[in-house]
Amino acid sequence: MSDPLTPPAARPELPEDEFAGVRARAGRHPALALGAAALALFIIFHVRADIGYALSSSVPIDLGDAAATFAAAPAEARPRGHGVSPEALAQAANHYVRVRGTPDRESALELDTKGSWVFTQFFRILGTGSRLFVHRRENPLPAVRAEEDVFEGRLIRFADLSFEASIREYSATHVSATHFFAPDGLRRAVAQAPGAATVTVTDLAGDPVLLGPNDLLAIDVTVPEQLRISFPADKFRHALEASGEIEKRGGTVLKVVEEPGPFNPTAKPAIAAARPDHVVLLVSFSPEKRDAALGELGDLDPKIEIRDARRTLKVRLSDLRDGGDALLVQSVEGSAAPERLPIADIPAIRTLAAVQIPADAWMLLEMDHPRDHVQTVIFAGVLLAFAVINLLGLARGLKRS
């Protein structure tokens, strides 16, 4: 320690600081810290739905029957079932739910991710007016859940999906479903809007279908006093054998609809499998012998199938008119006079229509549990801490300047 009484000239000189001329590093620009914090907060905002879902309950909200909950009809006109109110349905958005319904397997899609062999299913639930779709990710589906049509998962508004526009366009242009109508229901719809450009008809599943004047309808009409009888080929290998059974009981064979071809053991499996496996005959019986003959034919073999003979008419909606207890077809096979089709003789009317996804549709992401999104909460917490650190550093820098 130097002596304060020692004159300055006699004090030893201190060594010169070699870093005295080095300039201190400048701090980060405030805009950089602000931008980093803003980016972190933007990402948190972007995944806010996943964060909310991860923090929600894992106990499913029971929405009951899908046709009763998601149908567009008023509550009193909906199919019977345990449904919920529109307010309760809105509160169930982005929550884990359970719903029951019948899937439309005909128009189901199989989705795959490019570059992978992971396939998922996408299908609508019948009776909801195409307002509920299910994205099934499990493949293969466990047998326990395949036995009943109950679906559990995350309920999302279709409008909130990132792929909403593309799936709507693809469904409207490439996906079709068969709709069956009650004959009298179609007749009433035609009677209420004669000559209209479009008409809405509710199919047997409860879904409204918009039909235009040029839409084709297939109308099955029973042929009076004619039957279509199918004999198994393993017992009746030729039409003559089956015809003998018909004639033995007083019937008349009107036409051989289908007969198995000769078996070719050298044929390829695909060709061999394409052979008809039944002898199909179009027959008629007199009224007094009909019931007894059909009973005896049914006792011959349990594989024998007996049903009414039908013919199918393909007509456009604009060709149909109301005929009271019948449908009038204006032009069938070039006929000038309208053909009268009694409602009692029409077992089925069907059409093929594109699957249109309405604006208020929903999607259920099956078996997507809230706990599957815990990592999103952790990631958001890290981002939030990063944003706070940057904002605190920005505040300290502004105080020093």
What tens-digit pLDDT sequence spans the chain (401 residues)? 555 555 655 556 656 666 555 555 555 677 888 888 899 999 999 999 999 999 999 999 999 999 888 876 444 444 444 567 778 888 999 999 999 999 998 888 888 776 667 788 899 999 898 999 999 988 777 777 777 889 999 999 999 988 888 889 999 889 989 999 999 999 999 888 776 778 889 999 888 898 988 889 999 999 888 999 999 888 888 888 889 999 999 999 998 887 665 544 444 444 333 346 788 999 999 989 999 999 999 898 888 999 999 989 999 998 898 888 899 988 655 556 788 899 999 999 999 988 989 889 999 999 999 999 999 999 999 999 999 988 888 888 777 76
pTM for the full predicted model: 0.73
What CATH number is given to the structural domain containing 260?
3.30.70.240
Query: Which phi and psi (to 5°) does residue 298 adopt?
Result: -65, -25
- Domain assignment present for 14: no
Q: Mark 124-151 as b/e (b = at least 16 C-beta within 10 Å).
A: bbbbbbbbbbbbbbeeeeeeeeeeeeeb
- Domain assignment present for 195: no
CA–CA distance, 85 with 62 (Å, rounded to integer): 12
The count of structural domains within the chain is 2
Q: In this structure, are 316 and 367 located in the same domain?
A: no
Query: What is the span of the domain harbouring residue 92?
Result: 61-177+357-374
Calculate Rg over the CA atoms of the chain.
Answer: 37
Output the DSSP codes for 276-339: --EEEEEEE--HHHHHHHHHHHHHH-TT-EEEEEEEEEEEEGGGEEE-SSEEEES-STT-SSPE
- Domain assignment present for 28: no
Q: In this structure, are 335 and 317 located in the same domain?
A: yes
Instruction: Give the burial class of 379: count Cβ atoms within 10 A of its Cβ; 0-12 exposed, 13-18 middle, 19 or more buried.
Output: middle
Who contacts 146 (Cβ-Cβ below 8 Å, separation ≥6)?
none
